[in-house]
Structure 1
């Protein structure tokens, strides 16, 4: 049936009489690759029955054009005009058939590609509230699967999951049996979570992050260890400072609001103070931060310096947004990797040299982010499963 219908569809299309449904049907048949022979037959028939048109160029101009376009090695003055006339006829056919089919088929392929990419992007949703709690005894609890309400885990430990997804962690340990036990809360790529520690300190964990902390803060210092990014609202205890350990750095506070970005695969660790006062220390230097300031630790050179902070950009992740301000593409795509749980590769693109800015909600699918990035950065993004290729 399709073998007989193909010539009809081709003629309808060639004479610009095809309906939208017929155009789509023809393009699908061509795109399938099963009708190459039929397509060749249609082109050959039109060639044999083609009515020559008068060339708009002189014979000399034809020779020059054909010599240039076809990259003929023989000097133009040695070419035979008759041969040029015959070739002009073939080029006329190409203009009437191949050009017509080619442009439309290219447009169709582009349309199909874009639709396919939109579909692939729509399947990659934003991150959600999910994490796992690893207790000191090795027990693993998937926090996003817990029902709302309170439950007791191991001796003296009680967690409560609120309606908004927050995890409140309490210790009922009168004899201090759990003081030395270390628990870990971990968020995967594509996840974030909020937890309230035993002292009342609230912590928001960004994607691909982990926080280790004691089962109870009984010592002179409250100490936690962070990998990744987290925002802290530390409960004030005048005689018990709160310490956050990251790789090559310690942040010390008494009671304050601050954000730490300390991903292992980043060149820098950035501590941003919003309220109160903190002290950041590296192996060679210590800085006291005031609200609106941030410390930047270069992990390769072990250099610690102070800068004024753009708190809107720093806190965008916690507030449910992506905000990019003159940020390089490498940094932007790392955030995309973590939040959408994808693998990003660069093809013939140096992401460090491309700067961009923009805003988009983190609640949107990855397609919304791509639509922001592509035109600003002047790149193309291809999605195959969870592989994201950035190319020129």
Structure 2
């Protein structure tokens, strides 16, 4: 059931498409004439340029999404992960944004509430940043071009770029697994292609330990933090992700694992294929659109149906939350944008918001969207966001 503002937003959307009937037009006319300023607001919304500029930040058309999907399929090495997300249509995007604020804030009124104050500088935008840890403990900053060139010169099995690291499957007589580790700092992300062609997209503040070349009957990697996996199918050698006290077994599928040490649970979210999740002697099998949730305090392992976009959209460059506590949203943003958060009142942590926008927007624009509800204000000082 839509609330009043959502209903009006839906009527406006239908009007723009020429799909309203006589009763809907009469209801919309009554709303337009019921209060000063509404007609002016309505006419601004009717400007196609105005509308496209506002809505394009939150949603893609089917044509745009199809074009982007084709680009990603043909350019895996560019550093983008190939995963198709079913984005909300225009009208649903309006409804989602209305849960953040009113229609007046979404479409933009002349006098908007103060959202940011004392902004000394914007927070850095997330980028491709990673450190490769070699078996002898040496660390190579992959953000540094000189370090990358030196690494390439010493190891012909590697293909390293600013945004991705790829291991080639070169035949060698050595049967001992040699491990590397990839560390992603706060404010970073990175694409990794293993020697078996498995593609892994690592999120901020994450570490993955993996063999340079897989040996034996299984392909095992170790994760702390968050990653999205597109596993190369191999029924003879299952792929195993070890994260905390949990193991995820797959033969070829796409899924996400979230296992930050400071969080109370470990999440395994399945996008396609099937996986088996094991923890504390228990085992569950997942089908697409299911999530295994392992509670680290109770040791319970449960399965639930979820909207996978809420848990995996980060890998496709989107911020998607639905009625989520502000503390959870800002914790994620803190990792992605490498900033700290201070709450002036504890109750602000539990305020719930919905959000759907590009991950790589300027951070002030993300705060602006949340702040337009009038529920909270933000102040940025140095590298800290103060929530008021």
TM-score range, shorter chain: 0.5 to 0.7
Which residue matches 1:169?
167
Q: How large is the RMSD of aligned CA atoms in angstroms?
A: 2.3
Alpha-carbon distance, 1:168 to partner: 0.8
Q: Deviations over 1:127-174 (max 9, x none)?
A: 1011011111222111122378896465x6621135x83221125351
Q: Does 2:319 align with 1:322?
A: yes
| Residues 153 and 159 in structure 1, CA contact (< 8 A), matched pair in contact too | no
Aligned pairs for 1:251-270 (under 5 A) are 251-270=248-267
TM-score by length of 1: 0.66
Aligned pairs for 1:164-313 (under 5 A) are 165-170=163-168, 172=170, 174-176=172-174, 179-313=176-310
Computing the radius of gyration from Cα coordinates, the structure with the larger value is 1
Q: Deviations over 1:166-188 (max 9, x none)?
A: 221125351216x3322100110
- Change in CA separation of 1:352 and 1:344 when aligned onto 2, cut-off 3 Å: closer
Alpha-carbon distance, 1:370 to partner: 0.6
Q: Does 2:385 align with 1:388?
A: yes
Which residue matches 1:100?
none
Q: Does 2:130 align with 1:128?
A: no
Q: Write the distance in 1 (CA, Å) between the matches of 2:260 and 2:304.
A: 19
Alpha-carbon distance, 1:342 to partner: 0.6
Q: Secondary structure at the match of 2:324?
A: strand
| Greater length-normalized contact order (CA 8 Å, ≥ 6 residues apart) | 2
Alpha-carbon distance, 1:257 to partner: 0.6
| Residues 129 and 189 in structure 2, CA contact (< 8 A), matched pair in contact too | yes
| Residues 191 and 207 in structure 1, CA contact (< 8 A), matched pair in contact too | yes
Alpha-carbon distance, 1:275 to partner: 1.1
Unmatched 5+ residue regions in structure 1? 1-109
- Change in CA separation of 1:271 and 1:351 when aligned onto 2, cut-off 3 Å: farther
Unmatched 5+ residue regions in structure 2? 1-112
Alignment length (residue pairs): 275
Q: Write the distance in 2 (CA, Å) between the matches of 1:226 and 1:263.
A: 9
Alpha-carbon distance, 1:374 to partner: 2.1
Q: Write the distance in 2 (CA, Å) between the matches of 1:138 and 1:205.
A: 21
| Residues 150 and 159 in structure 1, CA contact (< 8 A), matched pair in contact too | no
Q: Deviations over 1:185-238 (max 9, x none)?
A: 011000000010111110000111110011220121111010111000111111
Alpha-carbon distance, 1:355 to partner: 1.1
